[in-house]
Every structure is written in structure tokens, then in C-alpha cells.
Amino acid sequence: MVTVLRLGHRRGRDDRISTHVGLTARQLGADKIIFSGESDSNMMESIEDLTARWGGFFEVEYREDFRRIIKDFEGVTVHLTMYGLPFKEVASEINGEKPDKDVLVVVGSQKVPREVYSLVDYNVGVGNQPHSEVTALGLFLYELNNGKIPEEFEGAQVKVVPSEEDKLTEKVGE
């Protein structure tokens, strides 16, 4: 099971990017996202509504104490930061040595508290230049899943119809 922890969400300021963190996590195989920081039921409901329409199992939760989430997590904890170890190496190590372990992937919004670096098992970077947490999450999850992206989501009511020129969707079962 892969869980994403979004640190320090700020209602109003981070709504769009936190939503994108959730959508990226869902699309690339995570099972759950936990938001910390300010509680934001509207943002969380938009991810839940999308999951209901587009299918799959994806849990959305809010918990205030990110420290307790990291400390109590039973599995491998990974913090995505541009200051960390190369993401491909860490994903390969997790897949090779700990393939059945649950993984908690921590991504920040505002400045990440220094203690997070020592609370996790791995600090992982997808490059050594400033970049978006959405980029970091997408690349890490893609590598963690050995380049596999789920194509169908159970219980979907709607799906995309591939098209070179148009934005097409169809109801599932039609």
C-alpha cells in the first residue's frame, strides 16, 4: 500500500496544487492521501468526487499531526526533496529489498520542518534543481511502480477516449 502525506496544506493558497498532488497520487497507483496543515473539506471533497466518477479505490483523509503519522507508520518512509538521494536508486532499493512493505511518501507545501529529514527512512530527490512537488511525486511513483501506470479503474463511471485532436470521454458500459 502506498500512502502520500501532503505536509502543510494552506486553505485558499494551496488548493490547486494540493488537488494536483492528490490526483497524481491516485493516477500513479497510491492508495491513500493524508493532508496535514489546515483542514480543507472542499479541496478533499473534489478529489473524492473525482474518484467516485473516474473509479478506483483512493482514500482521502485529514490529520493534523504529521509527526505522529510519520513516526507511527509501519513501513518505509520517503520524503521527496531536491536535496535527497537519487529517486531511481531509492525506488529500486525499496522494490528490491522491501517489495512487500507499505510506503509513505511525504511531500511538502510550505517550508518543510527540518525534523522531517530525520523522521523518514529516505530523503529522495528527483533532481538537484528547484521543482514542483507534483513533479517529484509523479516521477517517484512512476519509478516505484516500475513504469506501470494503471489504465483502468474499477467502478469508473466515465473514461477518456484517446483522440489526437478532441477531448473525448464516454460513460463506462456504453
Tell whether domain 2-149 is in CATH 3.40.1280.10.
Answer: yes
Which amino acid would we find at residue 172? V
- Residue 83 has a CB neighbour count (10 Å cut-off) of 11
Average pLDDT over residues 83-110: 89
**Residues 32 and 59 sit within 8 Å (Cβ to Cβ):** yes
Which pLDDT belongs to residue 110? 80
Tell me the domain boundaries of the chain. 2-149
- What pTM value is reported for the model? 0.93
- In angstroms, the CA 86 to CA 162 distance is 33
pLDDT, tens only, 10-64: 888 889 999 999 999 999 999 999 999 999 999 999 999 999 999 999 999 999 9
Confidence at residue 174, expressed as pLDDT on a 0 to 100 scale: 61
Query: How do residues 100-110 score in pLDDT, each as one tens digit?
Result: 789 999 999 88
